[in-house]
Amino acid sequence: MIEFSCSLCHGRMQAPDNTLGYYTVCAHCGHEVVVQDPIKLGAISHSMSIEQKLNVEMNLGGGRAKALIITIVASLSIYSAFYIPFLEFIDPNAEIYRLLAVGWVPFAVVAFMVISFVMLGQRFALVRANERALKETYLTHTTPLNTDIEINEAMLMIQDKARQIKDVSVAKRVIGALTRFKHTRSIREAEDALTVFSERAYNEMDAGYTILRVIVWATPLLGFVGTVQGVSKSVGGLAKVLGGDVEDVSQITTALGKVTSELAFAFDTTLVALVAVIIIMIAMTMVETVDSASLDRIEDYIKNQVLQNLPVKVNALKDGQHTDL
C-alpha cells in the first residue's frame, strides 16, 4: 500500500501500489487527486514554496495601503498646486475668487473634487494596465504543462512578463488557475478558480468606487450646510440691527448690504457644490463603464488563454471506471 497526502486538504490516504499515478477521489475533501509516490512529497513541498513565492511577489504591486498613500500624496500636491497660486494672484473682488475662496465650503468641495479625480485616475490607470495585459500572450498550445515542473516554469515565465508590463491583475488570475490545475489536473477545478477570481475582481471594482459614491453623496450636503450657515448669519445680523436703536437709516442700508452679501455667499456654496458633484458623477460614470467593460474582456481572455490551452487527460481507474477532467 502507498500512503500519501491530498495535495489540497493534506488528508492522509492509502492506495494500492499499482495505482501510482492514477486519479482517485480524496476521502476527506472529495476532490480529484493523483496518487503520489511518498518519496516525491519533498518535491511537492518545494513546489508549494514556489507557489507561495509567486503569490507574494504578484501581490507586491498592489495593496490598498499603497493606493491610499498615493491618493493622499497626490491629492495634497494637486490641491496645494491649485490654491497657492490662486490665492496669490487672483483678485479677491473677482467672481471666481468669491466662488472658490470665500468661506470654508468651497475649499472642502474642491478638496473632494481633487480626491475624486485622483482616485478615478488610479482606476483608469489600472484599466490601461489590464488592457496592455490583454495584448500579451501568457499561454499557448505549445506551452509545456504536463508536469509540475513545467507548470512552475510557466508560472515563473508569466510572472516575469507581468512584471515587465506592470500587470497586477490578469497574470495573477492565470497563475491562480494554473496552481489549481497543477494540484488537481482538472479543467473543472481550474474553471472554478477562474470563477472565484472573476467574482473577486468585480467585488473589488465595486468596492473601489465606495469612497467616490460617499463623496458624491456628501458634496451637495456641504453646499446645503454652507447655505444654511450663510442664511443664518445674514438673518441674525439683520435682526440684531433691527432689534436695536436705529439712529440713522444708513445703518439699515449697511445691514441690508451685509445681509445681501452673506446671502450671495450662501447660494454660491450650493452652486459650487452642485456643479462639482455633476462633474464628479459624469467622470465616475465614464470610468466605471470602461472599468466594467475591461473586466468582461479580461474574463473572456482568461478563459481562452487558460482553459483551452490546458492539457486534458483521461485516465481509467483500476476498477474499470473512468473520470473526465
Domain boundary assignment for the chain: 64-309
Question: Stretch 5-24: mean pLDDT, rounded?
Answer: 71
pLDDT digits (tens, 9 = 90+) for 127-166: 998 888 888 888 887 888 878 888 888 888 888 888 888 8
pLDDT of residue 235: 66
Percent of the chain with pLDDT over 90: 24
- Any idea which of 100-104, 111-115, 302-306 has the lowest mean pLDDT? 302-306
Half-sphere exposure of residue 274, counting CA atoms within 13 Å on the CB side? 7
Nearest Cα residue to 211 out of 69, 116, 70? 116
Neighbours of 280 (CB within 10 A): 21
pLDDT of residue 85: 93
Which grid cell sits at 128? Answer: 490601461
Q: What are phi and psi of 25, to 5 degrees?
A: -105, 125
pLDDT of residue 240: 58
Residue bearing cell 482517485: 24
Half-sphere exposure of residue 57, counting CA atoms within 13 Å on the CB side? 17
- Helix residue ranges, H only, the chain: 41-58, 64-89, 95-101, 105-134, 148-165, 170-184, 187-208, 210-242, 249-306
- Any idea which of 88-92, 106-110, 315-319 has the lowest mean pLDDT? 315-319
Q: Output the CA–CA distances (angstroms, integers) from residue 165 to 60, 162, 205, in the order listed.
A: 14, 5, 21
Burial 184-197 (b: 16+ CB within 10 A, else e): bbbbebbbebbeeb
CA distance linking residue 87 with residue 257, whole number of Å: 25
pLDDT digits (tens, 9 = 90+) for 155-180: 888 888 888 888 878 888 888 888 88
- Any idea which of 246-260, 282-296, 310-324 has the lowest mean pLDDT? 310-324
Q: Output the CA–CA distances (angstroms, integers) from residue 254 to 36, 160, 228, in the order listed.
A: 93, 73, 22
pLDDT digits (tens, 9 = 90+) for 178-207: 888 888 878 888 888 888 888 888 998 998
DSSP 307: G
- pTM (2 d.p.): 0.71
Nearest Cα residue to 228 out of 273, 269, 271? 269
Nearest Cα residue to 30 out of 207, 260, 170, 188? 188
Residue 22 has pLDDT above 70, yes or no: yes
Residue 55 has pLDDT above 70, yes or no: no
Q: In sequence order, what are the residues at sequence separation of 6 or more whose Cβ sits closer than 8 angstroms to the Cβ of residue 147?
A: none
CA distance linking residue 46 with residue 212, whole number of Å: 44
Residue 118 has pLDDT above 80, yes or no: yes
Which grid cell sits at 121? Answer: 485616475
Which grid cell sits at 122? Answer: 488610479
Angle at 54 between CA 32 and CA 201, to 5 degrees: 75
Residues 12 and 33: beta-carbon distance below 8 Å: no
Residues 75 and 192: beta-carbon distance below 8 Å: no
pLDDT of residue 176: 86
Q: What is the mean pLDDT of the chain?
A: 78
